[in-house]
Amino acid sequence: MDKGRLIVLTGPSGVGKGTILRSLLEKHPEVHLSVSATTRQPRQGEKEGQDYYFVSRQQFEKMVAEGELLEWAEYAGNYYGTPRRAVEKQIEARRSVILELEVVGARTIKETFPDALRLFILPPSVKELEKRLRGRGKDSEAAIAKRLQRSLEEIAAKDEFDLAIVNENLETAIKEIETAIFSN
């Protein structure tokens, strides 16, 4: 791939976006994953600057006011946003950048970067999604309930995306995503 491109990966919490991305980035280290800012508390094992930049609401609001975010949204009681500068730098350097976003942020990117490739990851069923959220074992019951509620609205928006991929078998889903990203 010789041209920097923006790729947006969206799908309900617990569908496997993080798992897919870890594998994809291991195979394709030339692709840059944007690290978001969030006001959510770190989950066990999450690292500052690697998984997220963990900031206070006040810091986040300052980033918004100063135009430092390419997009942002509120999700399950917390703010999430994409730091603008790092993404612009990578695109200028002709590197492809992946943004992992919820649906509102994905819509903003469609407006500002109409050429971005937008992929939606679906669970095989909502029951399986709930199983994965619980199986991950890192969110409270209240956080799981908010995520499941939001997942129904998110799944209803799947047709807004360039491609919807079902993450039933992990390897198959990764292959489909690789094809979408690297074959054109």
Question: Is 43:137 a contact under the CB 8 Å cutoff?
Answer: no
Residue among 71, 113, 165, 181 that touches ligand 5GP (CB under 6 A):
71
Residue 55 annotated as binding?
A: no
Interacting partner of 71 out of ligand ADP, ligand 5GP, none (Cβ under 5 to 8 A depending on kind): ligand 5GP
In the structure, how many helices (H) and strands (E) does the chain have? 7, 9
Residue 151 annotated as binding?
A: no
Structure tokens at 147: 């995520």
Q: Is 75 in the site for ligand 5GP (CB under 6 A)?
A: yes
If one counts every other C-beta atom within 10 angstroms of the C-beta of residue 17, the result is: 19
Q: Give the range of 56-64, 75-83, 110-118, 173-181 binding ligand 5GP by CB under 6 A.
A: 75-83
Structure tokens at 180: 């979408």
Sheet strands side by side (includes 37-38)? 53-54, 37-38, 78-83, 69-75
Q: Is 176 in the site for ligand ADP (CB under 6 A)?
A: no
Q: Is 79 in the site for ligand 5GP (CB under 6 A)?
A: no
CA distance 147 to 88: 30
Q: Is 156 in the site for ligand ADP (CB under 6 A)?
A: no
CA distance 30 to 80: 25
| Annotated binding-site positions for ATP | 11-18
Q: Which residues bind ligand ADP (CB under 6 A)?
A: 11, 13-19, 132, 135-136, 167, 169-170
Q: Which residues bind ligand 5GP (CB under 6 A)?
A: 13, 36, 40, 71-73, 75, 80-82, 100-102, 104-105
